[in-house]
A and B are shown apart, each in its own frame.
Chain A
Amino acid sequence: MRKTYGSPPPGFSSEHLRGHLIVLEGADGSGRTTEVALLRDWLEIRGHPVVDTGLRRSTLVGPEIDRAKQGHTLSATTMALFYAADFADQLENKILPSLAAGSTVLADRYVFTLMARAVVRGATRDWASKLYGFAIVPDLTVFLDARPEILLHRAIGRYGSLDYWESGMDLSLSRDRFESFFRYQERLHAEFEWMTEHYGFQVVNADRDPTSVHKDVVHSVAPLYEDGHDADVESTPPRPRASRARPAGPASSPTPAAPPTAPPDAARRSARRPPDAA
């Protein structure tokens, strides 16, 4: 039975939502997008159709949000409500229909990022969680936990600079973007740590290479598809190894990927102090 955190949106009916909702959370530069792609391949090769979704702007309010961000004129409360409208649109027009169709919905970030952003900008946790009370509870949320230094290097490596919003420049933490980036990421991280406890995230150490991270992600995901959880797949076929290079087509070697027996080394790590950005 699928549940929402608070009261469900009007017209919500849980009984037909057969698919799984899997969420990958993590800061920009945590390798989230890469891991979503790897996991998508892994699932589809095993016969589970995937619909991916993220916090990309919906068709409904996307243009207005972009305009509001350009102008920097809306307050934190207004922006938080705006993002919630955008998310509600994605939930009702994309996520729920996909789950009803039996697809696995793979979310490249979810309400947790939106809640964390709102809270570091002054909203209370209580307000933020009530605001997103209509969100459905995922089957699994994996938090890709990467150190701020790692995020910094990946951001600079990719864009050659630090993004205004990812550095939290709107918070006026520091006029220095480098400094602001660290302080902002530190605050977000603290929020994610709290949510990890509160919402039961699976934490994966994302300081490592994509393949190692993928292994840990799969370790968390695999149990969802065991014991005939998914009626669309005939028994358990031999599991081919995920092939990253060519996602389409059957993998050549049908070597069964044995489910890992021990928890991956660095998964489920607890709190970690981000270093001072002095």
Chain B
Amino acid sequence: MKGAPTPPPHGQAGRLIVFEGLDGSGKSTQARLLVKWLQSQGYRVFFTEWNSSDMVSEVIRRGKKKNLLTPTTFSLLHAVDFADRFERQIAPPLRAGYIVVCDRYAYTAFVRDASRGCDPDWVRSLYSFAPVPDKVLYFRVPVSTSLHRKILSRQKISYYEAGMDLGLSDDLNESYEKFQTRLKREYDRLAPIDRFVTIGADRPVEEVLRQVRHEIRPLLIGFPKLEALVRA
């Protein structure tokens, strides 16, 4: 990407594994399964999700009520949230030698903010404090699958998840579909740039799981297990 320098590898003792993809792509299920597997193998694992903190949720709620939020403030607020989470939750275990598994990472912001019209290079520069992961698994599904799973799960689609702030449609489901289409396009654009491992996630869970383990195994070669550390 022009003008966006690639940050150096994190150089920390741990490993950083990132799961990215649309809602309903099955990435969260697979992330949890991976964590369980790694733990059962005797590794020290730390799992973290992209949840908005109370602080950001509160600001977003207020901003929405007064119609104050714009793509720029929205983007910056999520950067605040991620920076805080990164420094508290991700950086310490990474330095301490854990395998850190992230259900969404800075790429989620790159994709969402670009889909809201923010300059991709600008967004990237905001997140330059976040190191490049050892592996990014991109769970790629058709938008229809995402929408279908979302409806089946009976989770309420939120205003911003549906990109209602962009005025794509007055209908929540339709807006969701249009917005997810933009997100997917952006994920697909980043995939080669950021060396995502693309996983066709529109397949049976077991099959996807096997592929995830296959992708992760090389990272574990020579990586110390808890047992070895205790003995040392």
Please tell me if the beta carbons of B59 and A92 are within 8 angstroms of each other in the complex.
no
Q: Which of A92-107 touch B at CB < 8 Å?
A: 92-93
A75, B87: Cα distance in complex, Å: 8
A192, B153: Cα distance in complex, Å: 55
Name A88's contact: one of B55, B59, B72, B121 (CB within 8 Å). B72
Task: Give B120 Cβ to nearest chain A Cβ, in Å.
Answer: 9
Q: Does B71 contact A (CB under 8 A)?
A: yes
Given known A-B contacts A64-B58, A131-B126, A78 and B119 have beta carbons under 8 A apart: no
Contacts of B77 in A (CB 8 A): 61, 85
A64, B87: Cα distance in complex, Å: 18
Please tell me if the beta carbons of B62 and A81 are within 8 angstroms of each other in the complex.
no
| Chain A 75-88: CB-based contact to B (< 8 A → 1; otherwise 0) | 10110011011001
Nearest-neighbor residue (CB-CB) of A7 within chain B: B119
Name B66's contact: one of A59, A64, A67, A81 (CB within 8 Å). A59
Q: Which of A32-75 touch B at CB < 8 Å?
A: 59-61, 64, 67-68, 74-75
Q: Does B122 contact A (CB under 8 A)?
A: yes
Please tell me if the beta carbons of A134 and B66 are within 8 angstroms of each other in the complex.
no
Please tell me if the beta carbons of B68 and A81 are within 8 angstroms of each other in the complex.
no
A89, B80: Cα distance in complex, Å: 14
Please tell me if the beta carbons of B118 and A10 are within 8 angstroms of each other in the complex.
yes
Task: Give B3 Cβ to nearest chain A Cβ, in Å.
Answer: 9
Task: Give A124 Cβ to nearest chain B Cβ, in Å.
Answer: 9
Contacts of B121 in A (CB 8 A): 7
Q: Does B209 contact A (CB under 8 A)?
A: no
Nearest-neighbor residue (CB-CB) of B125 within chain A: A130
Please tell me if the beta carbons of A85 and B125 are within 8 angstroms of each other in the complex.
no
A185, B224: Cα distance in complex, Å: 48
Q: Does A127 contact B (CB under 8 A)?
A: yes
Name B73's contact: one of A60, A67, A78, A133 (CB within 8 Å). A60
Q: Does A6 contact B (CB under 8 A)?
A: yes
| Chain B 95-120: CB-based contact to A (< 8 A → 1; otherwise 0) | 00000000000000000000011110
A64, B71: Cα distance in complex, Å: 19
Contacts of A78 in B (CB 8 A): 80, 83-84, 87
A47, B128: Cα distance in complex, Å: 46
Nearest-neighbor residue (CB-CB) of B55 within chain A: A64
Q: Is the interface of B mostly helix, strand, loop or mixed?
A: helix
Nearest-neighbor residue (CB-CB) of B71 within chain A: A10
Q: Does B79 contact A (CB under 8 A)?
A: yes
Contacts of B118 in A (CB 8 A): 9-10
Q: Does A263 contact B (CB under 8 A)?
A: no
Please tell me if the beta carbons of A60 and B76 are within 8 angstroms of each other in the complex.
no
A130, B4: Cα distance in complex, Å: 11
Q: Does A11 contact B (CB under 8 A)?
A: yes
Contacts of A130 in B (CB 8 A): 122, 125-126
A75, B70: Cα distance in complex, Å: 25
Name A92's contact: one of B73, B87, B119, B122 (CB within 8 Å). B73
Please tell me if the beta carbons of A59 and B129 are within 8 angstroms of each other in the complex.
no
Nearest-neighbor residue (CB-CB) of A129 within chain B: B125
| Chain B 126-160: CB-based contact to A (< 8 A → 1; otherwise 0) | 10110000000000000000000000000000000
Given known A-B contacts A10-B116, A78-B80, A60 and B122 have beta carbons under 8 A apart: no
Please tell me if the beta carbons of A60 and B62 are within 8 angstroms of each other in the complex.
yes
Contacts of B116 in A (CB 8 A): 10
Task: With a 10 A CB-CB cut-off, give which of A74, A85, A93 has the most chain B CB atoms.
Answer: A85
A10, B125: Cα distance in complex, Å: 16
Q: Does B63 contact A (CB under 8 A)?
A: yes
> Chain B residues in contact with chain A, CB under 8 A?
55, 58-59, 62-63, 66, 68-73, 76-77, 79-80, 83-84, 87, 116-119, 121-122, 125-126, 128-129
> Chain A residues in contact with chain B, CB under 8 A?
6-7, 9-11, 59-61, 64, 67-68, 74-75, 77-78, 81-82, 84-85, 88-89, 92-93, 127, 130-131, 133-134
7 sampled A-B residue pairs with Cβ under 8 A: A11-B70, A60-B69, A61-B59, A64-B55, A64-B59, A85-B76, A85-B80
